[in-house]
Every structure is written in structure tokens, then in C-alpha cells.
Structure 1
Amino acid sequence: MIARWLLPLALPTPVTLAAASLLLFVSQFHLWSRFSSGSVFAPEFPRPVVLLFNWAFGAVLLLAVMQVAIDLASLVGWVVSRGGWSMPDAVRYAAGGVAAVLAAVGVAGAVRVPPVKDVSVTIPDLPPEFEGYRLLQLTDLHLSRLFTADWARAVVTRANAAGADAIVVTGDFIDGSVEMRRDDVVPLAGLRAPDGVYAVPGNHEYFFDYSAWMQRIRELGIAMLPNAHVGLRRGNAALVIAGVTDLSAHHVGQTAPDLERALTGAPAGAPVVLLDHQPRGARTAAARGVALQLSGHTHGGMIAGLARLLEPANAGFVSGAYRIGGMTLYVSNGTALWPGFALRLGRPSEITRFTLRRAPE
């Protein structure tokens, strides 16, 4: 960025040096985060500083992409004019301005309290007693210095007002230790639904003290389902909500995801809703007869167009609904996202309310 965008500008030397120093400082956001907390995943600065870092870091990355386009255009102009043309400074200034504005819009979109998004899911053999059943999904809350207790409280209020029969949280509750996030997670104790609140861990829970976090989340009144299930009843009919641990669990010596174990003892013939933080195992779940899998992890790609780059690492599943055999997979864009890159452009955050419908005969 310094060599290709800044140095070609006709600026006084002191201004160039100051701007270069600022670009270098901003580009090391994750290093400063590590110094602040010991973890790149938990920038422990005051919230305005985290917001400012995300804006500046996002602007630098967006400008880098634009600079590639500028370089390509410069190359074409140089070839066509046989070396007699160069890119005007005005184009570089314009790119910098556009990058700054887009980054500001992206950060604002990332930190909002998301609206409730309605999704209808058709399930073959859904018992009539569960026709119209409503599940509310929260995921990737990433409670942190960016997504604080006030933000969590507003999300809880909106979730409770959605009138769901059950609430599920598909992982990545936090970024930080139990001590760091002691106050930020307290509002989650206010989640309420007639049939309960259920959850599975995400990969970020394993980056800190997994066992301590599992205990703390349970203390908040949330029923964890690590390779386990619960049966919800309406008369003689049942609906199973099952959960698995995250794929990253074995890296830290914790129990790996085990769908067979999660479904052991589940009522025969009951439709299964599977909570799995990452969507990569969806084809296995579909082959096992799961009716609906709810996942997160990808943040929807964060920026429109970026999803293509994330597909290979996520078995092709990044955002929205997918039909896999007889199963529906839904990958939420996330209620929040990692505070180390809090930018959304064309991939809005969401609180997702699912209405279950019986498939026509």
C-alpha cells in the first residue's frame, strides 16, 4: 500500500512519512490485539478504539483491493500509450475516499443489533403437533469489547420478543476469557422461550478455557448439547434438538463431534434438528436422516463476493439455505462476528426465526 498507493502521490515528505507510519500502525491491528490480551481474538481496548481500528483496518484492506484494479488500469494505459501515460493522483485520492466510506458503512452494519429474519422450512413427516413450530437461532455472538453487555441485552430483548417456541445458539458466544467477559455474558441469562434455550460450542470457545466457558454458559440457564440431544414433546409427538461439539475440539484435547452419540436414545421416527457450529459436516448429517441443520461460523462471507473464497474451506456452504437430499441446511450470516475484522457489506447480520412446516403428501 505504501509503495503502490502512497508514494506515487505528490505529497510533502513529512506528510508522506506520517501517512506511511499510520498505515503501518493500522496494518498491525492484530498484533496490538495480542499485546492487549494475549490473544489475537480478543482486542481488549475501549470500544471506541476497537471501532476505530476496525474502520481503519477495513479501509486499508479495501483500498488494497482497489489498488490492484488501479495497477491493472495503469498497465493497460501504459501499454496503449506506449509508455506515455500515468494514473492521475485524483484516482488514488478517490479510491482512498471510497475505501474509507465503505469501511465506515461496513463497520456500522457489523455492529448493529440485527433484525429478525423469517425462514420457512418444510420437513417431511413433521408431526401435525409441530406444524408452525418456531425456532429462533442466534449464532456467532462474539461477545467482546466490541459486542458488549449493552449490545447483548438488546439482542436478548429482540430474541425474546420474536415469540419463538425454543431458542438455539450455534456457538461462538465469546472472544475472551471468563474473567474478561464476566459482565458481557450476563444478559444471556435473560433468554426465554417456552421449550427452553439450547446451544453448542463454536470454535472460539476452544481458543480460551473451554471447560470454564461450558460451566459459565450453563450457569446462565442455557442447556448445552455437546454430542447430546433433547426431545421436545407435544402430546405423543416428538421433535429432537441435537447438538455436536466443534470440529476444532480435538486440537485442544476435547471431545470431537460425534453425531451417532448425539442421537443415541433419540425417539425413533422423530424429526431431528441438528445444531452444528460449522456447516462442513452437513452431508454426513443428511445421510444420517437429520431434517434440519443449523450452522454459523462463516459470517456469511462478510463481504459480497468473498463467499466464493470461503466455500472450499466450508464444503461449499457459506450463507443461507441449502437442500441436501432430504435435509435443509441453513448457514446463518451470524448475529455478530469476530471483533478483529468487523465489516459487513452485502452480507447482513441476522437473528433467524424458523417456522417448521409439514411437507405436502
Structure 2
Amino acid sequence: MFHVYCAIAYLFIVARVIAPLPIRLHWKLLAAAALLPGALYQFWSRVFFGNMYAPELPFPVVALLGWTFGSFVLLLVFTIVGEILEVLYRLAARRWSHPPRGTARRVASVVLAFALGAMASSRQRACPKSTAWTWPSRTCRQSSKGSGWCS
């Protein structure tokens, strides 16, 4: 069901961010196609690997898909906030024409979302190493002595 919500969010972003941009149609289609793998990352992972939590992909591919999905989520949040602000602007100005710099706001939200997604994705390798530790206990069973849980 999660991939259905992501598909609806993808269509919302295509309709509200990519379609209004003043560029040629083939560039709009290319941008929408480039956003699709990141938006439906969990769907593709589930289709090809049977599980959306543990894909059997090399780290650079997972990092790239994580970057695109994180940027997609940020772009969705920025778009929703931008739409709410646009409605508030129209209500405050009491006119229903387009607010100034609508294209600039859309382009800025795309650039900001992908820049923040890249910054977050670059921190993936900075996680600390996990260490094994044992439970000191006097009541360990004899069968657990060699497992590393009893000291």
C-alpha cells in the first residue's frame, strides 16, 4: 500500500512542479522519468527482490536510490508547503491570479530538495561501527557459555 501512496505523491509532484515549468515537453517528460525510480523505489525493490527492506544491490546503487527517494520526499513536503502558502497569499491579497515568481519557487524547491537529499545521502558512510558486547551474568546456562553472550 505504501507504493500506492508514493505513486499518488509522484503524480502530485509531476502535476504541480514539473508540468507548470516553462520548458519544452521532452524536458518535462525526461524530468518526470528521472524522478520515477526514486519515487517508486520501494515498489521496484519489492517487485524484483520480494522485499522492500533488504535489496540485493551494490552500495552505490542503494545510495543513489536513497538520495533520489529522500529528495522526492523533501520535494513533496516543499511542494505541499508551497501550495499552502500560495493559497494563503491568494486569500490575503484577495485575488486569484498567480502569485509572483511561481516558477522561481518551484525551481528553488527542486534545487533545495535535491541539495539537502545529497547532503543527507553523503552522511550514509559516517555511521559509527557497531561493537559486540556481552551481558555479565552469574546465571548463564552452560549451553550459552560459547555463544559470546556470557562472560
- Which of 53, 69, 72 does residue 84 from structure 2 map onto? 72
Q: Secondary structure at 1:39's aligned position in 2?
A: coil
User: CA, structure 1 residues 55+25, in 2 after alignment: closer, same or farther (shift >3 Å)?
Assistant: same
Q: Secondary structure at 1:111's aligned position in 2?
A: helix
- Which of 67, 85, 96 does residue 110 from structure 2 map onto? 96
CA contact (8 A) 1:27 1:57 kept: yes
Q: Secondary structure at 2:86's aligned position in 1?
A: helix
Relative to total residues, which structure has the larger strand share, 1 or 2?
A: 1
TM-score (norm 1): 0.33
CA contact (8 A) 1:36 1:44 kept: no
Alpha-carbon deviation of 1:3? Answer: 0.8
Relative to total residues, which structure has the larger helix share, 1 or 2?
A: 2
Alpha-carbon deviation of 1:66? Answer: 0.6
**Residue of structure 1 equivalent to 2:119:** 105
**Residue of structure 1 equivalent to 2:98:** 85
CA contact (8 A) 2:37 2:65 kept: no
Q: Does 1:30 find its partner at 2:38?
A: no
Alpha-carbon deviation of 1:35? Answer: 3.1
Q: Does 1:4 find its partner at 2:54?
A: no
Q: How does 1:219-230 map to 2 (within 5 A)?
A: 221-223=147-149
Q: How does 1:109-148 map to 2 (within 5 A)?
A: 109-114=123-128
Alpha-carbon deviation of 1:221? Answer: 4.4
Take 2:68 and 2:148, find their aligned partners in 1: how far apart are those partners? 36
CA contact (8 A) 1:30 1:40 kept: yes
Take 2:108 and 2:28, find their aligned partners in 1: how far apart are those partners? 17
CA contact (8 A) 1:77 1:85 kept: no
User: CA, structure 1 residues 31+85, in 2 after alignment: closer, same or farther (shift >3 Å)?
Assistant: closer
Q: Secondary structure at 1:99's aligned position in 2?
A: helix
Count of residues in Structure 1 that have an aligned counterpart in Structure 2: 130
Take 2:60 and 2:124, find their aligned partners in 1: how far apart are those partners? 14
**Residue of structure 2 equivalent to 1:61:** 73
Structure 1: segments with no counterpart, 5+ residues: 115-154, 161-166, 169-192, 197-217, 224-229, 233-361
Structure 2: segments with no counterpart, 5+ residues: 1-12, 138-143
Q: CA RMSD in A?
A: 2.7
Over the matched positions of the two proteins, sequence identity in percent amounts to 27
CA deviations 1:266-302 (Å, max 9, x no partner) are: xxxxxxxxxxxxxxxxxxxxxxxxxxxxxxxxxxxxx
CA contact (8 A) 1:59 1:103 kept: yes
Alpha-carbon deviation of 1:105? Answer: 2.0
Q: Secondary structure at 2:56's aligned position in 1?
A: coil
Q: Does 1:47 find its partner at 2:50?
A: no
Q: How does 1:197-346 map to 2 (within 5 A)?
A: 221-223=147-149
Take 1:65 and 1:57, find their aligned partners in 2: how far apart are those partners? 12
